[in-house]
């Protein structure tokens, strides 16, 4: 599920929770909307974390190694 699907779940869940005033026997639409919004948020968080991991690129072979000296080591 991509970003569009997650945002769609959040939007439809919000509509079911806050904008719809239907009464269906045996179905609590407020709870269904909250569940859809929660699933959309979890999916969005998972998608963003996977996307962040994909963007990390290993250094190119033969690239110079840069070492940074820790100047604050004497003040700890």
State the pLDDT at residue 55. Answer: 64
State the pLDDT at residue 74. Answer: 63
State the pLDDT at residue 30. Answer: 93
State the pLDDT at residue 56. Answer: 62
State the pLDDT at residue 75. Answer: 62
φ and ψ at 22, to 5 degrees? -85, 150
Rounded to an integer, what distance in angstroms lies between the CA atom of residue 3 and that of residue 43? 8
Query: What averages of pLDDT result for each successive group of 10 residues across the chain (76 residues)?
Result: 90 94 90 96 91 69 75 64
State the pLDDT at residue 61. Answer: 79
């Amino acid at each position: 599920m991509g970003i569009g699907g997650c945002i769609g779940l959040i939007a439809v869940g919000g509509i079911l929770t806050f904008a719809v005033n239907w009464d269906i026997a045996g179905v609590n639409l407020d709870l269904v909307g909250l569940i859809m919004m929660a699933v959309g948020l979890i999916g969005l968080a998972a998608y963003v974390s996977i996307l962040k991991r994909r963007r990390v690129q290993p250094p190119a072979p033969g690239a110079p190694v840069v070492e940074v000296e820790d100047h604050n080591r004497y003040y700890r």
